[in-house]
Amino acid sequence: MPPTALSIGIEKARTCAKVLTAQGRGRYFLRLALNGKLLAAAVQQLAGTPRLLEFYDPVTSILGNEELMEPFLSLMLVVTEMNFSLDLQNCSFLDESWLLPVCVTYETVPCRALGMVLRYVDGRVFVTEVLPESQAEVDEVVLAGDVLDEINGCSLRNAYSGQAGAALQKLKGEPLSLRLLRWRWHDGEVFGPLLPYLKVLKEKEPCFQLQLLYNLRYLGWTSVGKVRRWGRDVPGGGCHLF
């Protein structure tokens, strides 16, 4: 019997390297199911499998309550008609939270060294410093405090110490495509699920500080443009001027 779209989606969620817990895999599957219009099929499969329904409490769960299941399934059929385009690669924090960090891709030319100092905290790879006059500083993409999530498509979730450096060493002289998870969220504050990691990082490296992007403001012009570069207060104290 050929695999169905639902079974393929379940298998993708089960084998996703970026989520390590049942909760994370469940959240990942829901996002995948929204993209693939699979939610109604998943609910129908549950409704038709009594052994699975035994895991759902009829008092606290819609899926365990026969009276609520039918309208819920109707709602899922409506959702199935909607189009979703969720970034499934940005899933490394689904174990901890529904909140997802800002994700950017950093593509750079072949070079001897990028100039990033890395630190491993509970399986995550943090950039603790961007070295002056390095390729990473010239490109102005990587910031101290960001998480290195992928190198050329290879996940660094639950990375062991030295894994990122070893991968970069193997790719020396080749174009690089890095996925970075920003320490700074959409509202300008620190991404909440990162706070426990940053606390540990600060204990390991007392001099570590989060780095902000350039914030350029145009002040006027004469024969050439004048630009002033501003710093902003860093959460937790201190100020950087770039």
- CATH number at 112 reads 2.30.42.10
Q: 19, 21, 31, 10: which is closest to 155 by C-alpha? A: 19
User: What Cα–Cα distance (Å) separates residue 137 from each residue in 117, 159, 214, 232?
Assistant: 12, 24, 11, 19
Whether residues 237 and 191 share a domain: the answer is no
SS3 209: coil
The arithmetic mean of pLDDT across residues 14-21, rounded, is 96
Same-domain pairing of 109 and 76: no
Residues 206 and 219 in one domain: no
Average pLDDT over residues 130-147: 92
| 91 lies in some domain | no
* Number of independent structural domains in the chain: 3
Whether residue 92 lies inside any domain: the answer is no
Q: What is the pLDDT of residues 155-200, one digit of tens each?
A: 999 999 999 989 988 888 889 999 999 999 999 999 999 999 999 9
66/63 Cα distance (integer angstroms): 7
* Domain extent at residue 27: 5-80
- The verdict on residue 88 lying in a domain is no
Q: How far is CA 17 from the centre of its chain?
A: 13
What is the tens place of the pLDDT at every residue in 79-99? 999 999 999 999 999 999 999
Structural domain contains residue 94: no
Residue type, 72: F
pTM, rounded to two decimals: 0.82
